[in-house]
């Protein structure tokens, strides 16, 4: 029995594998976690014989995906040797494990020789790798399921049931994207085809733009719409109209929505967009009132106070009936975490479709505090902006995030915002593809009315007051949208009309382009 004497550990290992298989098949009434030890052996053997097999599975397979830890150690050793440009075989691996007892339980270097000499084929190496990865995912699913059950039994005031659900969904999504092997390089002709498809879709849209149209002609001309995968930041000081403009953009896109079908049969937006609006500051009812006020031409303030005539109320009701079917979805959960926001956006995408995400506003989102301790707010905002940019790329939709500005704006004579005025500007400016500021001179001019008591000279006071009135008249009902950063296009400024009573923006029409007044 010389061969058996020399390979006692190998045969012992094979006996262990046989017992594990028996357990897996339920012979002892125990359900072992899913694992395919035969596929693990076959894959390792294939790599030992031909290292090119490693490159077929290296993108998605990791050492901890193996069911038997020692197989993961062997795979890790192979990866290290191959990455150094050397050949991984039983000899080089034996040297690698010379100071490591990891292989002792399976017979040391003899086990490597056993694998190499008993290889069946290297053709199916990728299939073996996928089988191993599938078993790993199943084991992780079991682990997540056990954690969900155990956590549900524990009642914690800090973590209610909805938070536990969001955590479970986040873990499931992270698991679903672990080891994805659909990515990587793609042929240039495929990228060209996608570019042509995008251009064709833009040609078919009413605005002839590639992205989601904002509904404002001049702004769309500068931006080309809001593009998929872009993080667009709209910033301004309080009372500038950030929420109003974001709501207008979202509702313009929702009203223009036309459903189509892609080549794969999935639902697409031929024009307009399905909107997911995360309102962390205002309730859904307040937002709806604003939108109805804009659509009906009835002041939202009058609606809230009940100061509407019968005719105005009728217009209000008719507007609500017209807008009932618009694909505009609102989530007004306060203090939502970035993880919760991502989870809900994915869910909406899956259930209703999603073409544009609006977040009002960025500084009200919480970071993922679980397992993290942020030293300061800058680190937390950095995580939030990275999360929003990742979400935009993941779902292939633009994310329009509103942001506050620092008080430094108020200290300058020219109060037009600059990139440096962004709160925690380093991360926001870096991660955003587009940064837009909203500035209304009328807001500041209204607070700069000359006071008679400050002037000794009556004529000087009258001149100053006349000049102030002229500037206020010129600025009345206008807003500047300043595009301070655009990763894929030019920067610049565009004007919009603003009706404060109904919080509505519209295309700007210069006075010299208005029709002549009637006699």
Give SS3 for 235: strand
For each of the domains in the chain, give its residue range(s) and CATH number, in order of start: 2-176 (1.10.860.10), 202-434 (3.40.50.300)
**Which helix or strand (DSSP H or E) is residue 45 part of?**
helix 37-49
Cβ–Cβ under 8 Å, residues 351 and 269: no
The residue among 73, 71, 75, 42 whose CA lies nearest residue 58 is: 75
To which residue do tokens 């837009």 refer? 436
Q: CA-to-CA distance for 31 and 33, rounded, in angstroms? A: 7
One digit per residue, pLDDT tens: the chain, 519 residues?
A: 344 444 455 445 555 455 445 544 445 456 778 888 888 888 888 888 888 888 888 878 888 899 888 888 888 888 888 888 888 888 888 887 776 666 666 666 677 777 777 766 667 888 888 899 889 989 988 988 888 888 888 776 667 777 788 778 777 777 766 655 445 555 666 666 666 666 666 555 555 567 788 888 888 889 888 998 899 999 988 888 888 899 899 988 888 888 776 665 666 767 788 899 998 888 888 888 888 877 777 777 777 777 777 887 888 788 888 888 888 898 888 878 887 888 888 888 888 888 999 998 888 888 765 444 555 677 778 888 888 998 898 888 999 999 888 887 877 888 888 888 886 666 788 888 999 999 888 888 877 777 776 777 777 777 778 888 888 888 788 888 999 999 888 889 998 988 877 888 888 876 655 555 444
Q: CA-to-CA distance for 211 and 357, rounded, in angstroms? A: 13
To which residue do tokens 């691996």 refer? 93
- Could you give the strand order of the β-sheet that contains 478-486, starting from the edge strand earlier in sequence? 328-331, 275-279, 356-360, 399-404, 231-236, 434-439, 478-486, 492-499, 504-507
Q: Which pTM was predicted?
A: 0.66
Q: Which residues contact 478 (CB under 8 A, 6 or more apart)?
A: 440, 441, 442, 495, 496, 497, 498, 508
Determine phi and psi for 160, rounding to 5 degrees: -80, 180
Q: CA-to-CA distance for 469 and 140, rounded, in angstroms? A: 69
Q: CA-to-CA distance for 500 and 505, rounded, in angstroms? A: 9
Angle (deg, nearest 10), helices 37-49 and 8-24: 140
């Amino acid at each position: 029995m010389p061969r058996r004497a020399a390979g006692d550990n190998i045969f012992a290992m094979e006996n262990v594998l046989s017992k594990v298989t028996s357990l897996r098949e339920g012979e002892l009434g125990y359900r072992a976690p899913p694992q395919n030890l035969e596929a693990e052996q076959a894959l390792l053997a294939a790599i030992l014989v031909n290292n090119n097999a490693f490159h077929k599975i290296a993108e998605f397979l990791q050492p901890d995906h193996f069911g038997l830890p020692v197989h993961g150690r062997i795979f890790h050793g192979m990866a290290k040797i191959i990455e150094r440009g050397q050949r991984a075989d039983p000899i080089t691996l034996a040297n690698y494990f010379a100071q490591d007892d990891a292989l002792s339980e399976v017979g040391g270097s003899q086990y490597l020789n056993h694998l190499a000499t008993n290889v069946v084929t290297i053709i199916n190496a990728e299939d073996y790798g996928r089988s191993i990865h599938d078993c790993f995912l199943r084991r992780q699913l079991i682990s997540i399921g056990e954690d969900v059950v155990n956590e549900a039994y524990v009642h914690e005031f800090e973590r209610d049931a909805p938070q536990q659900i969001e955590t479970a969904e986040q873990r499931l999504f992270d698991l679903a994207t672990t080891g994805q092997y659909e990515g990587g390089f793609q042929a240039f002709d495929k990228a060209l085809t996608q570019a042509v498809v995008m251009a064709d879709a833009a040609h078919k849209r009413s605005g002839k733009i590639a992205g989601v149209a904002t509904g404002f002609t001049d702004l769309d001309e500068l931006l080309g719409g809001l593009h998929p995968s872009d993080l667009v930041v709209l910033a301004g000081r309080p009372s500038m109209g950030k929420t109003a403009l974001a709501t207008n953009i979202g509702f313009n896109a929702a009203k223009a929505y036309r459903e189509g079908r892609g080549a794969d049969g999935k639902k697409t937006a031929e024009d307009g967009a399905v909107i997911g609006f995360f309102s962390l500051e205002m309730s859904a009812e307040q937002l709806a009132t604003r939108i109805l006020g804009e659509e009906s031409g009835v002041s939202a303030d009058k609606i809230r106070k009940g100061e509407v005539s019968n005719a105005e109320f009728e217009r209000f009701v008719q507007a609500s009936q017209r807008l009932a079917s618009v694909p505009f979805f609102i989530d007004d959960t306060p203090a939502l975490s970035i993880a919760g926001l991502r989870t809900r956006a994915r869910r909406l995408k899956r259930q209703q479709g999603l073409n544009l995400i609006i977040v009002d506003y960025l500084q009200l989102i919480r970071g993922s505090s679980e397992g993290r301790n942020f030293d300061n707010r800058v680190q937390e905002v950095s995580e939030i902006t990275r999360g929003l940019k990742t979400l935009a790329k993941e779902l292939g939709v633009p994310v329009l995030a509103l942001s506050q500005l620092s008080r430094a704006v108020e200290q300058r004579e020219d109060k037009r915002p600059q990139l440096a005025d962004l709160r925690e500007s380093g991360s926001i400016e870096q991660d955003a593809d587009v940064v837009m500021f909203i500035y209304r001179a009328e807001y500041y001019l209204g607070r700069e009315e000359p006071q008679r008591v400050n002037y000794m000279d009556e004529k000087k006071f009258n001149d100053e007051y006349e000049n102030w009135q002229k500037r206020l008249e010129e600025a009345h009902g206008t807003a500047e949208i300043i595009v301070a950063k655009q990763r894929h296009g030019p920067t610049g400024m565009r004007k919009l009309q603003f009706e404060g009573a109904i919080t509505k923006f519209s295309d700007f029409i210069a006075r010299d382009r208005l029709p002549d007044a009637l006699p």
